[in-house]
Amino acid sequence: MIFDILTLFPDMFRSPLAGSILEKAREAKLITVNLFNIRDYAEGKHRVTDDDPYGGGTGMIMKPEPIIRGIKAIQSGHPEARVILMTPQGTPLRQEVVRRLAQLSHIILVCGRYEGVDERVRAVVDEEISIGDYVLTGGEPAALVMIDAIARLIPGVLGNEGASEDDSFSRGLLEYPQYTRPRSFEGREVPEILLSGDHQSIERWRKREALRRTWERRPDLLTRAGLSDEDQKILDELRGSSGAE
Ligand code: ADE
């Protein structure tokens, strides 16, 4: 998977991509991250990349020419590369979106800055993505979130195959509670069932706790989760035993 990043601040990517799992993935050539400075595609002595908004208002708008020139330069020879603009106006990033993007081989991530990018940039963008309903100073942290979330789904990146299938959201539910040693910590005990060695019972308990946690914290996820009849039965029991309607 190739990630090409178009940004005014390539340095913001260097430290987050160094160390830990993403660096190992790059060393193993499972992912490649190339950084491109939008300023390099700007013209004139001062290589200006932003300007005042037509119609007035505060803040600066990123000019269309440098961004579009940059996208076209990266795209030449790579027509398959998908161009994604990071913006709070985009499709919300959810695990199902991450799964879809992880199937691609080449993504160009365009990071906007300031108060926004000229609307005409959208004509050369395939898709727009938001990492949440809040506004960042620029698309760079959002692009890093995308790289991280996508990379961990690429076979070999996590080392432990299947690790990404087991976690929160993989089945549309929050994760069940996890424990490791010690068995007793400050008076809090590991649930007996996890020590039982009875794998079927442990699976049932985990399913129930995942459903409980999702129902308590993120009931909005349950409507999307694609619950089985058995899941639905467990949920009905949980609702009944809580005294809720
Ligand atoms: N740029 C600024 N805020 C953003 C957000 N929430 N998601 C993606 N890109 C952004």
pLDDT range class, residue 19, cuts 50, 70, 90: confident
Q: Which atom of ligand 1 is nearest to the CA of 129?
A: 8
CA distance 97 to 129: 9
* 92 tagged catalytic: no
Is residue 72 within a helix (H) or strand (E), and if so which, with residue range? helix 64-75
- Give the residue from 161, 158, 150, 70 showing the smallest Cα distance to 106: 150
Predicted pLDDT at 162: 66
Percent share of the chain, pLDDT over 70 = 95
What is the sign, positive or negative, of the torsion defined by CA atoms of 111, 94, 1, 27? positive
pLDDT range class, residue 169, cuts 50, 70, 90: low
Predicted pLDDT at 146: 98
Predicted pLDDT at 191: 98
Examine the pLDDT at 161 and tell me if it is beyond 90.
no
Q: Whose CA is nearest to atom 9 of ligand 1?
A: 87
Burial (CB < 10 A; 0-12, 13-18, 19+), residue 56, is exposed
- Name every protein residue with a CB atom under 6 angstroms from any ligand 1 atom: 86-88, 130-132, 134-136, 139, 142
CA distance 32 to 4: 8
Q: Tell me the best of 135, 145, 147, 148 to mutate to test the pocket of ligand 1, counting ligand atoms within 8 Å of each CB and taking the most.
A: 135
Out of 99, 152, 208, 218, the active site residue is 152
**C-beta separation of 80 from 105 below 8 A:** yes
Examine the pLDDT at 170 and tell me if it is beyond 70.
no
Residue listed under structure tokens 């004509």 = 123
Q: Which atom of ligand 1 is nearest to the CA of 133?
A: 6
* 188 tagged catalytic: no
Predicted pLDDT at 183: 98
Q: With both helix axes pointing from N to C terminus, report the angle between 199-217 and 229-242 in degrees, rounded to the nearest 10.
A: 60
Quote the strand ranges of 70-159, DSSP E. 82-92, 106-111, 127-130
| Alpha carbon of 69 to ligand 1 centroid (Å) | 22
Write the DSSP symbol of residue 164.
G
* 115 tagged catalytic: yes
Neighbours of 33 (CB within 10 A): 20
pLDDT range class, residue 51, cuts 50, 70, 90: very high
CA distance 229 to 113: 47
Give the tokens for residue 71: 């996208």
- Mean pLDDT, all residues of the chain: 95
Burial (CB < 10 A; 0-12, 13-18, 19+), residue 79, is exposed
Examine the pLDDT at 133 and tell me if it is beyond 90.
yes
Out of 126, 167, 198, 230, the active site residue is 167
pLDDT range class, residue 245, cuts 50, 70, 90: low
Examine the pLDDT at 39 and tell me if it is beyond 90.
yes
Q: Report the relative pairing of strands 184-185 and 188-189 from DSSP bridges.
A: antiparallel
Give the tokens for residue 120: 């005409």
Predicted pLDDT at 242: 82
pLDDT range class, residue 99, cuts 50, 70, 90: very high
| Alpha carbon of 91 to ligand 1 centroid (Å) | 11
The mean pLDDT of 88-98, rounded to a whole number, is: 97
Examine the pLDDT at 166 and tell me if it is beyond 60.
no
User: CA 202 → CA 96, 161, 171, 213, 240, distances in Å?
Assistant: 27, 21, 17, 16, 22
Predicted pLDDT at 113: 84
pLDDT range class, residue 168, cuts 50, 70, 90: low
The mean pLDDT of 168-174, rounded to a whole number, is: 80
Out of 88, 113, 171, 209, the active site residue is 88
The total number of residues shown for the chain amounts to: 245
* 167 tagged catalytic: yes
Q: Whose CA is nearest to atom 2 of ligand 1?
A: 136
The mean pLDDT of 182-207, rounded to a whole number, is: 98
Which of 54-63, 143-152, 154-163 has the least mean pLDDT? 154-163
